[in-house]
A and B are shown apart, each in its own frame.
Chain A
Amino acid sequence: MTSRIVQVRQNILKKNDLLAGELRARFERAGVYVVSLVSSPGSGKTTLLEHTLAALAPTARVAALVGDLATDRDADRLKKAGVPVRQITTGTVCHLDASMVDDALRDWRLEELDFLFVENVGNLVCPASYDLGEHMRVVLLSVTEGEDKPLKYPTIFNTADMALITKIDLADAVGFERSEVVRNLEELRPGLHVLDVSARSGVGMPSWIARLCAARHSIASERVRT
Protein backbone atom coordinates (compact mmCIF):
# COMPACT_ATOMS: atom_id res chain seq x y z
CA MET A 1 0.00 0.00 0.00
CA THR A 2 1.23 3.48 -0.81
CA SER A 3 0.25 6.63 0.94
CA ARG A 4 -0.19 10.23 -0.07
CA ILE A 5 -1.38 13.51 1.36
CA VAL A 6 -4.62 15.06 0.13
CA GLN A 7 -5.05 18.78 0.76
CA VAL A 8 -8.47 19.73 2.08
CA ARG A 9 -8.49 23.14 3.85
CA GLN A 10 -11.95 23.27 5.26
CA ASN A 11 -13.36 24.62 8.44
CA ILE A 12 -14.18 21.77 10.76
CA LEU A 13 -17.43 23.50 11.69
CA LYS A 14 -18.23 24.05 8.01
CA LYS A 15 -21.77 22.73 8.41
CA ASN A 16 -22.50 25.13 11.27
CA ASP A 17 -20.83 28.03 9.45
CA LEU A 18 -22.87 27.40 6.30
CA LEU A 19 -26.12 27.21 8.21
CA ALA A 20 -25.24 30.32 10.24
CA GLY A 21 -24.60 32.11 6.94
CA GLU A 22 -28.02 31.05 5.66
CA LEU A 23 -29.65 32.21 8.88
CA ARG A 24 -27.89 35.56 8.66
CA ALA A 25 -29.16 36.01 5.09
CA ARG A 26 -32.67 35.08 6.24
CA PHE A 27 -32.50 37.60 9.09
CA GLU A 28 -31.32 40.25 6.64
CA ARG A 29 -34.15 39.57 4.21
CA ALA A 30 -36.71 39.63 7.01
CA GLY A 31 -35.28 42.86 8.43
CA VAL A 32 -34.86 41.43 11.92
CA TYR A 33 -31.86 42.42 14.03
CA VAL A 34 -30.46 39.45 15.94
CA VAL A 35 -28.55 39.79 19.19
CA SER A 36 -27.06 36.87 21.09
CA LEU A 37 -26.14 36.95 24.76
CA VAL A 38 -23.30 34.88 26.20
CA SER A 39 -21.94 34.71 29.73
CA SER A 40 -21.22 32.35 32.57
CA PRO A 41 -24.24 30.96 34.41
CA GLY A 42 -25.72 33.51 36.79
CA SER A 43 -24.39 36.69 35.18
CA GLY A 44 -27.91 37.95 34.63
CA LYS A 45 -28.68 37.17 30.97
CA THR A 46 -32.31 36.30 31.65
CA THR A 47 -32.92 39.27 33.96
CA LEU A 48 -31.32 41.62 31.43
CA LEU A 49 -33.45 40.10 28.72
CA GLU A 50 -36.67 40.40 30.76
CA HIS A 51 -36.07 44.11 31.15
CA THR A 52 -34.87 44.55 27.58
CA LEU A 53 -37.95 42.87 26.11
CA ALA A 54 -40.22 44.95 28.35
CA ALA A 55 -38.43 48.16 27.36
CA LEU A 56 -38.54 47.45 23.64
CA ALA A 57 -41.99 45.86 23.41
CA PRO A 58 -44.05 49.07 23.34
CA THR A 59 -42.28 50.38 20.24
CA ALA A 60 -40.75 47.34 18.54
CA ARG A 61 -41.68 43.79 17.65
CA VAL A 62 -39.43 41.56 19.73
CA ALA A 63 -38.98 37.86 20.39
CA ALA A 64 -36.49 35.62 22.16
CA LEU A 65 -34.97 32.17 22.05
CA VAL A 66 -33.42 30.94 25.23
CA GLY A 67 -31.03 28.02 25.61
CA ASP A 68 -30.53 25.85 28.67
CA LEU A 69 -29.59 22.26 29.29
CA ALA A 70 -32.96 21.61 30.93
CA THR A 71 -36.27 23.20 32.05
CA ASP A 72 -38.48 25.91 30.53
CA ARG A 73 -38.00 28.21 33.51
CA ASP A 74 -36.25 30.99 31.61
CA ALA A 75 -38.82 30.97 28.83
CA ASP A 76 -41.60 31.16 31.43
CA ARG A 77 -39.93 34.21 32.99
CA LEU A 78 -39.47 35.93 29.66
CA LYS A 79 -43.01 35.27 28.43
CA LYS A 80 -44.25 37.70 31.06
CA ALA A 81 -43.15 40.48 28.72
CA GLY A 82 -45.98 39.31 26.45
CA VAL A 83 -43.75 38.58 23.47
CA PRO A 84 -43.01 35.32 21.61
CA VAL A 85 -40.43 33.27 23.52
CA ARG A 86 -39.22 29.77 22.86
CA GLN A 87 -37.00 27.62 25.03
CA ILE A 88 -34.28 25.51 23.44
CA THR A 89 -33.32 22.66 25.75
CA THR A 90 -30.01 21.23 24.68
CA GLY A 91 -29.98 18.11 26.89
CA THR A 92 -26.32 17.67 27.71
CA VAL A 93 -24.97 19.96 25.01
CA CYS A 94 -23.13 22.93 26.49
CA HIS A 95 -23.79 25.49 23.75
CA LEU A 96 -26.28 26.49 21.07
CA ASP A 97 -25.43 25.86 17.45
CA ALA A 98 -26.94 27.19 14.25
CA SER A 99 -29.13 24.12 13.68
CA MET A 100 -30.78 24.49 17.10
CA VAL A 101 -31.59 28.12 16.29
CA ASP A 102 -32.85 27.11 12.86
CA ASP A 103 -35.12 24.42 14.35
CA ALA A 104 -36.47 26.75 17.01
CA LEU A 105 -37.41 29.34 14.38
CA ARG A 106 -39.14 26.84 12.08
CA ASP A 107 -42.67 28.30 12.28
CA TRP A 108 -41.90 31.91 13.22
CA ARG A 109 -42.53 34.66 10.74
CA LEU A 110 -39.28 36.59 11.00
CA GLU A 111 -40.51 39.45 8.85
CA GLU A 112 -42.93 40.29 11.65
CA LEU A 113 -40.04 40.97 14.02
CA ASP A 114 -37.71 43.91 14.58
CA PHE A 115 -35.46 42.25 17.16
CA LEU A 116 -34.71 38.64 17.96
CA PHE A 117 -32.67 37.85 21.06
CA VAL A 118 -30.89 34.54 21.49
CA GLU A 119 -29.78 33.73 25.01
CA ASN A 120 -27.06 31.11 24.87
CA VAL A 121 -26.42 28.41 27.46
CA GLY A 122 -24.51 29.88 30.41
CA ASN A 123 -20.96 28.95 29.49
CA LEU A 124 -17.92 31.08 28.70
CA VAL A 125 -16.07 28.46 26.67
CA CYS A 126 -18.01 26.41 24.14
CA PRO A 127 -20.42 29.00 22.66
CA ALA A 128 -17.38 30.85 21.31
CA SER A 129 -16.89 28.31 18.51
CA TYR A 130 -20.41 28.48 17.09
CA ASP A 131 -21.68 31.19 14.81
CA LEU A 132 -25.45 31.51 15.20
CA GLY A 133 -25.96 33.98 12.38
CA GLU A 134 -26.42 36.82 14.86
CA HIS A 135 -25.63 40.45 14.00
CA MET A 136 -24.25 41.24 17.43
CA ARG A 137 -22.82 38.99 20.11
CA VAL A 138 -22.90 40.53 23.56
CA VAL A 139 -20.85 39.09 26.40
CA LEU A 140 -22.05 39.76 29.95
CA LEU A 141 -19.77 39.95 32.95
CA SER A 142 -21.30 40.57 36.37
CA VAL A 143 -19.56 42.53 39.09
CA THR A 144 -19.52 39.48 41.38
CA GLU A 145 -17.42 37.39 38.99
CA GLY A 146 -13.99 38.88 39.43
CA GLU A 147 -12.12 41.48 37.46
CA ASP A 148 -9.83 39.01 35.71
CA LYS A 149 -12.57 37.03 33.96
CA PRO A 150 -11.72 38.43 30.49
CA LEU A 151 -8.14 37.25 30.89
CA LYS A 152 -9.23 33.79 31.98
CA TYR A 153 -11.67 33.32 29.09
CA PRO A 154 -10.04 35.15 26.19
CA THR A 155 -11.85 33.15 23.52
CA ILE A 156 -15.39 34.24 24.27
CA PHE A 157 -14.33 37.87 24.77
CA ASN A 158 -12.57 37.67 21.42
CA THR A 159 -15.74 36.68 19.59
CA ALA A 160 -17.93 39.34 21.26
CA ASP A 161 -18.99 42.59 19.60
CA MET A 162 -19.74 44.31 22.86
CA ALA A 163 -19.40 43.72 26.61
CA LEU A 164 -21.92 44.52 29.34
CA ILE A 165 -20.87 44.80 32.98
CA THR A 166 -24.03 43.64 34.75
CA LYS A 167 -25.33 44.02 38.33
CA ILE A 168 -23.49 47.32 38.54
CA ASP A 169 -25.78 48.30 41.44
CA LEU A 170 -23.85 45.74 43.52
CA ALA A 171 -20.42 47.10 42.59
CA ASP A 172 -19.71 48.86 45.89
CA ALA A 173 -21.05 46.03 48.01
CA VAL A 174 -18.67 43.52 46.44
CA GLY A 175 -15.69 45.86 46.09
CA PHE A 176 -15.76 45.69 42.31
CA GLU A 177 -12.85 47.48 40.61
CA ARG A 178 -14.32 48.68 37.34
CA SER A 179 -11.09 50.24 36.10
CA GLU A 180 -9.33 46.89 36.40
CA VAL A 181 -11.94 45.11 34.26
CA VAL A 182 -11.84 47.85 31.68
CA ARG A 183 -8.06 47.64 31.62
CA ASN A 184 -8.19 43.86 31.19
CA LEU A 185 -10.77 44.14 28.42
CA GLU A 186 -8.71 46.80 26.68
CA GLU A 187 -5.63 44.56 26.83
CA LEU A 188 -7.58 41.65 25.40
CA ARG A 189 -9.78 43.44 22.88
CA PRO A 190 -8.64 47.00 22.23
CA GLY A 191 -11.61 49.17 21.31
CA LEU A 192 -14.35 46.78 22.49
CA HIS A 193 -17.41 48.80 23.53
CA VAL A 194 -18.22 48.33 27.24
CA LEU A 195 -21.41 49.42 28.97
CA ASP A 196 -22.38 49.22 32.68
CA VAL A 197 -25.93 48.13 33.44
CA SER A 198 -28.17 47.05 36.23
CA ALA A 199 -31.42 45.54 35.04
CA ARG A 200 -32.77 45.75 38.57
CA SER A 201 -32.02 49.42 39.31
CA GLY A 202 -32.32 50.48 35.68
CA VAL A 203 -28.86 52.11 35.59
CA GLY A 204 -27.43 51.99 32.08
CA MET A 205 -30.55 50.40 30.60
CA PRO A 206 -31.47 53.44 28.48
CA SER A 207 -27.96 53.44 26.95
CA TRP A 208 -28.20 49.71 26.24
CA ILE A 209 -31.62 50.10 24.60
CA ALA A 210 -30.38 53.09 22.60
CA ARG A 211 -27.38 51.07 21.48
CA LEU A 212 -29.62 48.24 20.25
CA CYS A 213 -31.88 50.62 18.36
CA ALA A 214 -28.92 52.41 16.78
CA ALA A 215 -27.34 49.11 15.73
CA ARG A 216 -30.58 47.94 14.16
CA HIS A 217 -31.00 51.26 12.43
CA SER A 218 -27.50 51.15 10.93
CA ILE A 219 -28.15 47.71 9.45
CA ALA A 220 -31.52 48.86 8.11
CA SER A 221 -30.03 51.93 6.42
CA GLU A 222 -27.26 49.82 4.90
CA ARG A 223 -29.97 47.65 3.43
CA VAL A 224 -31.70 50.63 1.88
CA ARG A 225 -28.44 51.86 0.33
CA THR A 226 -27.46 48.55 -1.25
Chain B
Amino acid sequence: MHELSIALELADVASAEAERTAATRVIAVHVKVGPLSGVVKDALLFSFDAVIEGTSLAGARLLIEETQVRTWCPRCRREQALLDVSRRRCPVCESPTPRLISGDELQLVGLEIGTA
Protein backbone atom coordinates (compact mmCIF):
# COMPACT_ATOMS: atom_id res chain seq x y z
CA MET B 1 0.00 0.00 0.00
CA HIS B 2 2.18 2.83 -1.24
CA GLU B 3 -0.70 4.80 -2.75
CA LEU B 4 -0.54 7.19 0.19
CA SER B 5 3.07 8.09 -0.69
CA ILE B 6 2.05 8.45 -4.34
CA ALA B 7 -0.93 10.64 -3.38
CA LEU B 8 1.34 12.93 -1.35
CA GLU B 9 3.70 13.33 -4.30
CA LEU B 10 0.76 13.93 -6.62
CA ALA B 11 -0.65 16.61 -4.31
CA ASP B 12 2.78 18.30 -4.22
CA VAL B 13 3.20 18.32 -7.99
CA ALA B 14 -0.41 19.37 -8.60
CA SER B 15 -0.37 22.25 -6.12
CA ALA B 16 2.98 23.49 -7.46
CA GLU B 17 1.51 23.49 -10.98
CA ALA B 18 -1.66 25.21 -9.79
CA GLU B 19 0.40 27.98 -8.21
CA ARG B 20 1.94 28.73 -11.59
CA THR B 21 -1.50 29.56 -12.97
CA ALA B 22 -4.14 32.09 -12.04
CA ALA B 23 -6.18 29.39 -10.33
CA THR B 24 -8.41 30.43 -7.48
CA ARG B 25 -9.17 26.79 -6.90
CA VAL B 26 -8.49 23.40 -8.40
CA ILE B 27 -11.64 21.65 -9.54
CA ALA B 28 -10.13 18.43 -10.82
CA VAL B 29 -6.80 16.70 -11.16
CA HIS B 30 -6.43 14.47 -14.23
CA VAL B 31 -4.00 11.56 -14.05
CA LYS B 32 -3.08 8.58 -16.18
CA VAL B 33 -2.37 5.30 -14.45
CA GLY B 34 -1.09 2.27 -16.33
CA PRO B 35 -1.85 -1.32 -15.34
CA LEU B 36 1.89 -1.87 -14.80
CA SER B 37 2.39 1.20 -12.61
CA GLY B 38 1.76 -0.85 -9.50
CA VAL B 39 -0.89 1.56 -8.32
CA VAL B 40 -4.41 0.54 -7.36
CA LYS B 41 -7.01 3.05 -8.53
CA ASP B 42 -9.34 2.86 -5.54
CA ALA B 43 -6.48 3.12 -3.06
CA LEU B 44 -5.16 6.19 -4.87
CA LEU B 45 -8.60 7.85 -4.91
CA PHE B 46 -9.02 7.20 -1.22
CA SER B 47 -5.52 8.42 -0.35
CA PHE B 48 -5.83 11.53 -2.50
CA ASP B 49 -9.01 12.67 -0.76
CA ALA B 50 -7.30 12.17 2.57
CA VAL B 51 -4.10 14.09 1.75
CA ILE B 52 -5.74 17.15 0.15
CA GLU B 53 -7.96 17.92 3.13
CA GLY B 54 -7.10 21.34 4.47
CA THR B 55 -4.68 22.10 1.61
CA SER B 56 -4.99 24.40 -1.41
CA LEU B 57 -6.31 21.40 -3.36
CA ALA B 58 -9.17 20.76 -0.93
CA GLY B 59 -12.32 19.76 -2.77
CA ALA B 60 -10.53 18.82 -5.98
CA ARG B 61 -11.69 15.62 -7.68
CA LEU B 62 -9.18 13.09 -8.85
CA LEU B 63 -9.99 11.77 -12.31
CA ILE B 64 -8.03 8.66 -13.21
CA GLU B 65 -7.70 7.50 -16.77
CA GLU B 66 -6.60 3.88 -16.83
CA THR B 67 -4.39 3.21 -19.83
CA GLN B 68 -3.69 0.02 -21.71
CA VAL B 69 -0.49 -1.96 -21.86
CA ARG B 70 0.94 -1.56 -25.36
CA THR B 71 3.86 -3.53 -26.69
CA TRP B 72 5.70 -3.72 -29.99
CA CYS B 73 5.11 -6.86 -32.01
CA PRO B 74 8.27 -7.63 -33.98
CA ARG B 75 6.37 -9.92 -36.35
CA CYS B 76 3.41 -7.68 -37.18
CA ARG B 77 5.77 -4.70 -37.01
CA ARG B 78 3.27 -2.61 -35.13
CA GLU B 79 2.08 -1.64 -31.67
CA GLN B 80 -0.54 -3.83 -30.10
CA ALA B 81 -2.68 -3.42 -27.00
CA LEU B 82 -2.37 -6.43 -24.71
CA LEU B 83 -5.55 -8.07 -23.50
CA ASP B 84 -3.88 -9.69 -20.49
CA VAL B 85 -0.97 -7.96 -18.72
CA SER B 86 0.53 -11.24 -17.56
CA ARG B 87 0.73 -12.58 -21.08
CA ARG B 88 3.15 -10.57 -23.18
CA ARG B 89 2.05 -11.92 -26.53
CA CYS B 90 0.70 -10.22 -29.61
CA PRO B 91 -3.10 -10.62 -29.63
CA VAL B 92 -2.99 -11.04 -33.43
CA CYS B 93 -0.09 -13.41 -34.15
CA GLU B 94 0.76 -14.76 -30.67
CA SER B 95 4.45 -13.75 -30.93
CA PRO B 96 6.23 -12.77 -27.71
CA THR B 97 6.47 -8.99 -27.44
CA PRO B 98 9.33 -8.09 -25.08
CA ARG B 99 9.33 -4.38 -25.82
CA LEU B 100 6.96 -2.37 -23.68
CA ILE B 101 5.69 0.86 -25.25
CA SER B 102 3.35 2.04 -22.53
CA GLY B 103 1.34 0.82 -19.61
CA ASP B 104 3.58 1.71 -16.68
CA GLU B 105 2.73 5.41 -16.58
CA LEU B 106 1.88 7.32 -13.46
CA GLN B 107 1.37 10.77 -14.84
CA LEU B 108 -0.26 14.04 -13.93
CA VAL B 109 -1.89 15.01 -17.21
CA GLY B 110 -3.57 18.28 -16.32
CA LEU B 111 -5.61 20.36 -13.95
CA GLU B 112 -9.07 21.79 -14.26
CA ILE B 113 -8.84 25.11 -12.53
CA GLY B 114 -11.30 27.79 -11.57
CA THR B 115 -10.31 31.38 -12.24
CA ALA B 116 -11.90 34.52 -10.88
Contacts and interface: CB of A to CB of B under 8 A. Distances in A.
A189 interface: yes
Interface string B23-64: 111010011000011110000000000000000000000000
Contacts of B31: 12
A190 B97 contact: yes
Interface residues of B, number: 44
B88 A7 contact: no
Given A1-B24, A129-B39, A189-B98, A12 B109 contact: no
Interface in A1-50: 1-16
Interface in B1-39: 1-2, 5-6, 9-10, 12-14, 17-18, 21, 23-25, 27, 30-31, 36-39
A63 to B, nearest CB: 26
Contacts of B30: 5
**What DSSP secondary structure best describes chain B's contact surface?**
mixed
A156 interface: yes
A169 B76 CA distance: 42
A3 B114 contact: yes
B75 interface: no
Contacts of B27: 3
Interface in A173-209: 184, 186-191
B98 A129 contact: no
A209 to B, nearest CB: 26
Interface of A: 1-16, 93-95, 97, 125-126, 128-129, 150-151, 154-156, 158-159, 184, 186-191
20 contacts: A1-B116, A3-B115, A5-B30, A6-B21, A6-B112, A8-B109, A12-B10, A13-B9, A13-B106, A15-B9, A94-B1, A125-B38, A126-B5, A155-B36, A156-B38, A159-B104, A188-B87, A190-B88, A190-B98, A191-B96
